[in-house]
Chains A and B, each alone.
Chain A
Amino acid sequence: MAEEKEKKKELAPELKELLKAGFELEWRKELRRAKPVKERMKIPRRKMPQREPEERNRDFEEVNQGLPEEEAVFEAQRCLDCANPQCVLGCPVAIDIPGFIKLIEKGDFEGSTRKLKETNSLPAICGRVCPQESQCEEVCTLKKSTGVSVGIGNLERFAADFERRSGKVFMPPIAPDTGKRAAIIGAGPAGLTVAGELVKKGHRVTVFEALHISGGVLVYGIPEFRLPKAILKAEVDYLRRLGAEVKTNFVVGKTATLDDLRAQGFQVFFIGSGAGLPNWMKVPGENLVGVYSANEYLTRVNLMKAYDFPNYDTPVVRSKRAAVIGGGNVAMDSVRTALRLGAEKAMIIYRRSRHEMPAREEEVKHAEEEGIEFHFLTVPTRYIGDDKGRVKAMECLRMELGEPDASGRRRPIPVKGSEFTSEVDLVVCAIGQSPNPLIAQTTDGLKIGKWGNVEVDWQTMATSLPGVYAGGDIVRGGATVILAMGDGRIAAGEMDRYLRAL
Chain B
Amino acid sequence: MAKVIHRQRLVPNIHWLELQAPEVAAKCQPGQFVIVMPDERGERIPLTIADWDAERGTVSMVFMCVGTSTHKLSLLNPGDEIPVFVGPLGRPSEIKNFGTVICAGGCFGIAAIHPIARALKAAGNRVVTLLDVKANYLLYWEDKLRAVSDSLHVSARDEFFDCKDYIPRKLELLLEEEKDASLVVAIGCTYLMYRCSQATKPKGVKTTVSLNPIMVDGTGMCGACRVTVGGQTKFACVDGPDFDGHQVDWDELFARRKSYFEDEIRSLCAWEKEVYP
Contact = CB atoms under 8 A, between A and B. Distances in A.
A255 interface: yes
B68 A296 contact: no
Interface string A114-146: 000000000000000000000000000000000
A251 interface: yes
Contacts of A255: 23-24, 27, 86-88
A276 B256 CA distance: 21
Interface string A296-324: 10011000110001111111010000000
A311 B43 CA distance: 11
A277 interface: yes
Contact of A276 (B44, B219, B260): B219
Interface string A82-107: 00000000000000000000000000
A287 B228 contact: yes
A277 B220 contact: yes
B135 interface: no
Nearest to B270: A310
B234 to A, nearest CB: 10
A388 B262 CA distance: 13
A47 interface: no
Contacts of A311: 41, 270
B9 to A, nearest CB: 22
Contact of A251 (B86, B216, B256, B260): B86
B255 A388 contact: yes
A311 B273 CA distance: 12
Interface in B222-277: 222-224, 226-228, 233, 238, 251-252, 254-256, 258-260, 263-264, 266-267, 270-271
Nearest to A305: B41
B248 to A, nearest CB: 12
A383 to B, nearest CB: 13
B219 A438 contact: yes
A278 B264 contact: no
A245 to B, nearest CB: 14
B143 to A, nearest CB: 31
Interface string A262-293: 00000000000000111010100011111011
B89 interface: yes
B171 to A, nearest CB: 27
A154 interface: no
A238 interface: no
Instruction: For chain B, give the interface size range.
Output: 35 or more
A251 B226 CA distance: 20
Interface in B3-58: 23-24, 27, 37, 41-44
B252 A309 contact: no
A211 B267 contact: no
A256 interface: yes
B194 interface: no
B190 to A, nearest CB: 13
A442 to B, nearest CB: 11
A346 to B, nearest CB: 20
B85 interface: yes
Instruction: For chain A, give the interface size range.
Output: 35 or more
B86 A210 contact: yes
Contacts of A309: 263, 267
A254 interface: yes
Contacts of A276: 217, 219-221
A390 B256 CA distance: 9
A250 interface: yes
Interface in A136-178: none
A305 B40 CA distance: 11
Q: Is the interface of B mostly helix, strand, loop or mixed?
A: mixed
B221 A295 contact: yes
B267 A254 contact: no
Contacts of A250: 23, 86
Most chain-B Cβ atoms within 10 A of its Cβ — which of A255, A312, A390? A255
A92 B47 CA distance: 43
A111 interface: no
Most chain-A Cβ atoms within 10 A of its Cβ — which of B41, B85, B252, B270? B41
A249 B43 CA distance: 14
Contacts of B221: 220, 276-278, 295, 299, 436
A296 B223 contact: yes
Contacts of B42: 312-313
Given A212-B83, A313-B68, A315-B263, A304 B44 contact: yes
Nearest to B38: A313
B261 to A, nearest CB: 9
A321 to B, nearest CB: 18
Interface string A43-80: 00000000000000000000000000000000000000
Contacts of A286: 233
Interface in B57-95: 68-69, 83-89
A277 B217 CA distance: 11
A211 B35 CA distance: 10
A228 interface: no
Contacts of A300: 216
A249 B86 CA distance: 5
Contacts of B251: 389
A288 B264 CA distance: 19
B37 A212 contact: yes
A249 B85 contact: yes
A493 interface: no
A211 B270 contact: no
Interface string A370-395: 00000000000000010011100000
B3 to A, nearest CB: 13
A467 interface: no
A385 B251 CA distance: 13
Nearest to B227: A287
Contact of B87 (A254, A293, A385): A254
Nearest to B89: A254
A254 B27 contact: yes
A438 B84 contact: no
Most chain-A Cβ atoms within 10 A of its Cβ — which of B37, B221, B252, B260? B221
Interface in B81-120: 83-89
A254 B88 CA distance: 6
A311 B87 CA distance: 26
A299 B216 contact: yes
8 contacts: A254-B87, A292-B224, A310-B267, A312-B43, A314-B44, A315-B267, A389-B254, A436-B221
Closest 3 pairs (CB-CB, A-B) = A389-B255, A276-B221, A315-B263
